[in-house]
Structure 1
Amino acid sequence: MTVCAIATTTAPFTIAADGSYAARLAGDGEARYPERWTLAGPEPYAVPLPLAQPEEADSEVLPLADGRVLIHRRVAERHAFALLYPTGGGSAATGPRTGELPLGAVDPEGADGTEVRVRLLPPSPDGRGAFALAVGARVSTVWRITGGGFGPERVALIPGRCSGGVWLDRTGRLLALDRELDGRTKAVAVDLGRGGEVSALLQIAEASDDRLLLADPDSGLLLIGSDAPGEPRIGWGVLGSSLPVRFPECLRGAVATPFAVQPGQALMPETCAVALRLEDGGLGLWRPADRLVFRLPAPVGWLGGTGLWTREGRLHLPYATADVPCGLMTLGMPSAPTPPVRLDPPPPPPAAPAAPRPIPLQQAPLR
């Protein structure tokens, strides 16, 4: 059953929370290697981080704010982690050599005795911590890989099968996960500073599946995927607000993934610009206050449908082509549509009674 109107393309390109670095697996076929991008300077540039053996296509990389890159590999039956960084030496032809600091591994068996699937969570907002989510048949575990003691450290044990992963604060303490339990999926908040304490975050309707897609800690803006209106929809709300979740008509029927939201708009969630990756690979820009979606062409070679908004309202989109192996396209939110477009035709009048009004977020508070 489809539970929310979002695209399912994975993003092989990951940007650090502060926008200073990014990382991806570069190369083709069996000749893959980690690559770090520096984004904080006047021009972006890439540094390859190859080792003696090529990486598997399912390896994951995540940049830290200090320039090191965390890599997650499946080694035999274990999930191993290491930090990669450029060192001195090398040559003009090969570039700098790559240093590697092994951090340990996570066993493939979870706390409930079943095999687990392990993946990296989005970069921590503090730039130092890195976390992984291990999902078993009945229990999910959050592991701190860096930012604590040496090696993987279990910081939360959550009943149910979890997915997603959205940070709710700037310190890397509050993590939102979409938990499947008793046949329903609801977003919950996990307090990593209180032993992994779990509290309800989204409870729009009793029988709905409610996922958190994106959040901005500055304004409290939440982007939500839910079938509470009677069909999968993208909606928005404000953390701690007494108002219900709103489902804009301009996003009705849209198969899209919100991937970046403008920070720094304290107390003004309606003015936050949101970037959407559309199903056909295009780019959509939207603000709750506008009630319109601006559709723009994405750059050729756009990497993974990712990007980063600045506080000044500039959207940076990474791309790589044969002529420009490390590029960054910058654009702003249009001031007027040319012309404004909907992502779908207007829906017909409903033949059945409307779905129950979603309950306010504050009825399922984040403690």
Structure 2
Amino acid sequence: MTACAIETTAEDDDREGTPVRPPAGFAITANGAYAARLAGSGDALYAERWTLDGPEPYAVPLPLDQPEEADAQLLPLADGRVLVCRRVDGRRHTFSLLYPTGPGTGELRLGSVEAPGPGPVELLPPSPDGICAYARHAGPESTTLWLVAGGAFGPERVAELPGHCAGGVWLDRTGRMLALDRRLGDGPVKTVAVDLERGGEVSPLLQITETSDDRLLLADPDSGLLLIRSDAPSPGHERLGWGVLGSLLPVRFPDCLRLDDAAVTPFAVQPGQVLMPESCGVALRIDAAAGSWVGLWRPSGRRMHQVAAPPGWVAGAGAWSPEGLLRLPCSTRELPCALAGLTVPEEPEPQPEPGPVPGPEGEAVAGDAPPRACRPVPLQQAPLTDRKPAG
């Protein structure tokens, strides 16, 4: 673990190894170079940028004359600037870029958008291109997408999608294809692919059965590995599964990812494993009454390795290196800015976990059986190849 010294708050606990409890939200750029969070305590909150790609991590505070509100959203960009989204006047949201300048903080105001209905405008995960940033507002009947940073004229609306959309997973390395979990009316949740260069053109992406709720949690464009949550194996009870982008093989639901009395949520996938989805390391956050800890797993393995969280882990945050090192951001009084490293333990004879999947009539189908009427991941219907924008 490496660390650096930054200013701590008065409310930090004096006991050794006690985590500094930051406000919710810790975003990491797609290339793992920068992160951002709200730091401080009480009413004295400010943006803080972490640099993660150097010999040692370090944090730079970005305070302004006025403190940030607790519901401010932060997103780091690949050039080191931090996007902040602030909610003002109820439905209006403003956007600014923060950056260090000498002893102070520079702020570039980008403009604002107004939500067309109740509920906040939410920033989407950092774009793979590191330049653009997008926001989403989901109403009961439609969802609006904005480009809020990286455009030529400030925030601009890029798409209006029918239905209520949640989530947000990038499917390529350019920031063109976005996956959203959409519900139309009272129907089930299905993941769709949105082409941001074609005005928000929507294509089906994930449907295991016609009536199941199917959500995409993570995707790795290099290997094609998809992490999915669905109630298709047992209606009313969601389970974690995995599939492969563009494959016709069934989605698999390994028993090792299912724990009694604990919630398991994937938060990072190892990049760089081109065409080898079974070899990707997957990091999972495990939450139970006793607290939170880390799960490490590969699709080729038959077990999930459970590891105690390092002191001060910002639960649910982390990034893999292509070489298979999971880096977890940590913050304690002794080490306010640190990274802990974990690797997936090797198994003697890794074997694929087939796992049962439901057929179109609800019966169990072996993982190596041919696909039935509803292809689990009908990705050939999604526009994932390069196409010229419509003229």
Question: Which amino acid in 2 is paired with 1:202?
Answer: L
CA distance in 2, matches of 1:336, 1:75: 52
Pairing 1:63–2:63 present: no
Q: Counterpart of 1:79?
A: 93
Aligned residues of 1:245 and 1:359 also touching (Cα < 8 A): no
Pairing 1:287–2:290 present: no
The secondary structure found in structure 1 opposite 2:378 is: helix
Q: Indicate which of 13, 16, 21 corresponds to 2:34.
A: 21
Aligned residues of 1:203 and 1:210 also touching (Cα < 8 A): yes
Aligned residues of 1:21 and 1:40 also touching (Cα < 8 A): yes
Q: Indicate which of 317, 332, 344 corresponds to 2:328.
A: 317
The secondary structure found in structure 2 opposite 1:265 is: coil
Q: Indicate which of 173, 180, 188 corresponds to 1:177.
A: 180
Q: Counterpart of 1:239?
A: 245
Q: Deviations over 1:58-105 (max 9, x none)?
A: 1010000001000000112311110000001xxxxxxx2001011111
Unmatched tracts of structure 2, length 5 or more? 1-22, 349-361, 366-371, 384-391
Q: Deviations over 1:26-79 (max 9, x none)?
A: 011111100000111100000000001111111010000001000000112311
Q: Counterpart of 1:360?
A: 376
CA distance in 1, matches of 2:177, 2:199: 11
CA distance in 1, matches of 2:381, 2:333: 49
Give the superposition deviation at 1:363.
Answer: 6.9
Aligned residues of 1:116 and 1:137 also touching (Cα < 8 A): no
Q: Counterpart of 1:106?
A: 113
CA distance in 1, matches of 2:111, 2:364: 49
Aligned residues of 2:206 and 2:378 also touching (Cα < 8 A): no
Q: Deviations over 1:2-42 (max 9, x none)?
A: xxxxxxxx951110111111000001111110000011110
Aligned residues of 1:12 and 1:304 also touching (Cα < 8 A): no
Q: Counterpart of 2:47?
A: 34
Q: Deviations over 1:205-257 (max 9, x none)?
A: 00000000000000110000000011311000001101011111111346211
CA distance in 2, matches of 1:178, 1:220: 18
Aligned residues of 1:25 and 1:35 also touching (Cα < 8 A): yes
Aligned residues of 1:203 and 1:364 also touching (Cα < 8 A): no
Q: Counterpart of 2:20?
A: none
Pairing 1:271–2:279 present: yes
Q: How does the TM-score come out when normalised to structure 2?
A: 0.82
Unmatched tracts of structure 1, length 5 or more? 1-9, 89-95, 338-352
Higher relative contact order (CA 8 A, sep 6+): 2
Q: Counterpart of 2:63?
A: 50
Aligned residues of 2:220 and 2:226 also touching (Cα < 8 A): yes
CA distance in 2, matches of 1:365, 1:302: 40
Q: Indicate which of 187, 195, 208 corresponds to 1:191.
A: 195
The secondary structure found in structure 2 opposite 1:228 is: strand
Question: Which is worse superposed, 254-263 or 51-60?
Answer: 254-263
CA distance in 2, matches of 1:117, 1:200: 26
Question: Which amino acid in 2 is paired with 1:60?
Answer: Q
Aligned residues of 1:215 and 1:222 also touching (Cα < 8 A): yes
Question: Which amino acid in 1 is paired with 2:100?
Answer: P
Aligned residues of 2:220 and 2:271 also touching (Cα < 8 A): yes
CA RMSD, Structure 1 to Structure 2 (Å): 2.0
Give the superposition deviation at 1:364.
Answer: 6.7
Percent identical among aligned pairs is 63
CA distance in 2, matches of 1:198, 1:105: 26
Give the superposition deviation at 1:284.
Answer: 0.1
Question: Which amino acid in 2 is paired with 1:137?
Answer: P
CA distance in 1, matches of 2:153, 2:332: 38
